[in-house]
Structure 1
Amino acid sequence: MLKRLRLGIGIGLLYFVSFLPLNLSAYLLSTHHPSEPLWLFTNIARIISLFLGLTLMHTSIFRRRLGLVFLCASLSITLFQGISDTLQGTVKPSLFSWTLVFISQATLIPVRWPLHLIAQLSAFAYYFGVNSALGLEVFPKDMAPPNLFLNLFWICSICNLSVYLYERLAKTDFQSRQKLKAAQERSERLLLNILPISIAERLKQEQSTIADSFTEVTVLFADLVGFTQLAEQTSPRALVELLNLIFSKFDQLAEQHRLEKIKTIGDAYLVVAGLPEPRINHAVAVAQMALDMQQALHQVNQQTGRALAIRIGIHTGPVVAGVIGLKKFAYDLWGDTVNTASRMESHGIPGKIQVTGTTYDCLKEHYFFEKRGPIFIKGKGQMTTYLLQGKRDGFA
């Protein structure tokens, strides 16, 4: 309403200022009819009141009372003219002035139709009430009272109806925009649940395939041991609820350690550190995540009475990460590092965390390990692997 009210009062001010030179010249060049000074002063009073209203809107007090400013501005236009006519003793319905004022208000300030009605009734109350009380003739001889009232009724009805319809349309438009905004926010949250923030922003701006190379990250694969057999003995709903309970805890840990969850495949969980934003301590973050995952599964077992075990494999190395395809976007990893981490998990021991020599070199100063020895890894041949036991004392 503030902008509309400022526009309406501003145009009204310009309207009366534009007539001021004509009023002055008519006053200076005429024989000074008694009505001319009063008309000039009435116009000046309107200009002053509108300028004052325009100024007051910049104050915090009147910004909260814009309805009062509207009424004062409207009445300063209609009542000053009415008072001028009353003082001259020659009153006549100002059909042209009223129509111009009310239509201008409805066009430029189409808000709060009850305020428009109050402004209109106030002008009529003064004209018919005050002038009649003073004994002045309020009905012109060339217009019957029913015709006058019918004219005034339709002028006000059309103006107020247009304001009401505009308000309703504006309200509907506002509600639609709010719903659209809420839908966009839900879509944004959904997108950010699927993709990292930086990747989501790029995906919204770029049409090409997103693919980035990272020289060193640490990848973790985890798999629930015996889950396939458990699925045969458990109802689908109970199975999904159990899996959701476990993976929700893993998701919380991934967020806590600032890791990027890539995906879940059945009962397997894939997470990585060091992308999409590179970080120095990626191996440490994943190692701590692995230990915390074991603890989280232990808590779930105590809570549900199960005896589930988890097998975890970790490897450090280069990967390519990105988003491909046209539908069901997913941020995924490619490269030998991913395959090796998967092999560490699949060739691991239930309840243990198996890491490669590369990851061991990154962590040996801060964590305890048990050397598992050379083992045959499918697609890799003989590899020396290590089992992560826990943190060394004094390492935060």
Structure 2
Amino acid sequence: PVRDADLHWAIIAKVDTAEAFVKEAAFTKTIVLVTAGMIFGVCLLAILLAQMFVRPVRRLEQGAQRISAGDYDVAIPVKTGDEIGDLTVAFNEMGRSLTVKQDLIDQHRKDTDQLLRSLMPDAVAERFKQGEETIAMEHHKVTVIFADIIGLERLQVELSPEESLTLVNELIRQMDAAAEHLGMERVHTVRNGYLASCGLAVPRLDNVRRTVDFALECEQIVDRFNADTGRELSLRAGIDTGRVSSGLFGTPSVVYDMWGAAVNIAHQIKNGSPQPGIYVTSRVQEVLQETVEFTPAGTIAVDGATEPVWRLSESP
């Protein structure tokens, strides 16, 4: 107000609130924006730092998932020298150790499979691996050969155990190769005896022909052995065809074997003559009589009846 005795005036000035507080509003706005920017920046930095800290842990997690899935060939790069880096190094060492152990397990499993398949047919080996305890099968139209190498006893007396075993293993190896080539299936070897069959695991229409061919090949193997070593070994074999059974015997140690009338008769006619040669039953002779020449070689008693025995004329 203006104070004058003669004047009774008052001057009133008005200013809009927005205009009066414009600077305060601008300052407040600036404060809010700066604060929001700082909060956003801090959050973004926190996210980036979290990603940076968590990334190695996630790599370890992914590696652990791969290992749990069976993939042991995992190597995580070590990018830090802190505790996470030490943990990564330990994880990689664990992965390498598991890889080595898995390789050993795989090799052991492979060796076991090969051993099983050398002792029994693949189908029987698979059933045995699945945990079956009683495995027995019946087979029809199977031809069986029992072969003896005559003279091995004398050879074993004249030579050391190592030398005689080396020679016997070489003979068996060649007979196994001939059996595989002709589709024969070795059942087992006993001392100087060799038991094999054709049509047991894999049915074959010409199983009789294959078995006789195998016997002839075994004779040639023995002849070549004699020529190379100066020995005087010979082969005596019995062959029959018919129904047989096969399966596993024993627990916990198991043995694959074959039994039945055809097996018994093949063994019987093999022992029926002291002379070397390939001896067959009438069932074998009837199948091959048009292509192979046989001569009578006596008889054997089977279940109270007399059964003729034939000798392969091609046999020396």
* TM-score interval, normalised by the smaller of the two chains: 0.7 to 0.9
- 1:321 aligns to what? 246
Matched residues, number: 271
Q: Is the 8 A contact 1:347 1:377 kept in 2?
A: no
Spell out, residue by residue over 1:36-63, the C-alpha distance to the aligned partner (whole angstroms, 9 max, x if none): 5xx79xx9xxxxxxxxxxxxxxxxxxxx
Taking a change above 3 Å as real, the CA distance of residues 112 and 205 of structure 1, as seen in their structure-2 partners, is closer
- Which 10-residue stretch deviates more, 344-353 or 297-306? 344-353
Higher relative contact order (CA 8 A, sep 6+): 2
Greater mean alpha carbon deviation, residues 220-229 or residues 287-296: 220-229
Cα 1:208–1:235 shift into 2, 3 Å? closer
Superposition deviation, residue 176 in structure 1: 1.1
* Mapped partners of 1:310, 1:362: distance in 2: 23
Measured after TM superposition, the shift of residue 190 of structure 1 is 0.9
The aligned counterpart of 2:50 is: 100
> 2:256 aligned to 325, 328, 331, which one?
331
Q: What's the counterpart of residue 9 of structure 2?
A: none
Counterparts in 2 of 1:380 and 1:240: CA distance versus 1, 3 Å? farther
Q: How does 1:132-281 map to 2 (within 5 A)?
A: 156-281=81-206
Please say if residues 106 and 162 of structure 1, whose CA atoms lie closer than 8 Å, have aligned partners that are also in contact: no
Q: Displacement, 1:192? A: 1.0
| TM-score, L = length of structure 2 | 0.77
Instruction: Confirm or deny that 1:387 pairs with 2:311.
Output: yes
Cα distance in 1 for partners of 2:303, 2:271 equals 12
Contact 1:320 1:335 in 2 (8 A): yes
The residue aligned with 2:266 is: 341
Q: Any conservation in 2 of the 1:222–1:270 contact (CA below 8 Å)?
A: yes
- Three-state SS of the structure 2 residue aligned to 1:222 is strand
CA contact (8 A) 1:102 1:159 kept: no
Q: Please, which moves more after superposition, 217-226 or 360-369?
A: 360-369
Residue identity (%): 24
Give 2:127's aligned amino acid: R
Task: Tell me the TM-score normalized by structure 1.
Answer: 0.62
Q: Which residue of 293, 299, 305 corresponds with 1:375?
A: 299
- The answer to whether the 8 A contact 2:119-2:188 is kept is no
Distance 2:59 2:285 in 1: 73
Check whether the contact 1:218–1:315 (CA below 8 A) recurs between aligned residues. Answer: yes
The AA in structure 2 aligned to 1:340 is I
Deviation at 1:207, TM superposition (A): 2.5
By percentage of residues, which structure has more helix? 1
| Rg (Cα) greater in structure | 2
Task: State whether residues 269 and 300 of structure 2, in contact with CA within 8 Å, keep that contact through their aligned partners in structure 1.
Answer: no
- Measure, in 1, the Cα distance between the counterparts of 2:231 and 2:305: 36
Report the residue type matching 1:112 in the other structure.
I
Is the Cα–Cα contact under 8 Å of residues 321 and 331 in structure 1 kept in the other structure? Answer: yes
Unaligned runs of 5+ in 2: 1-30, 61-74
Alignment partner of 1:112 out of 76, 89, 97 = 76
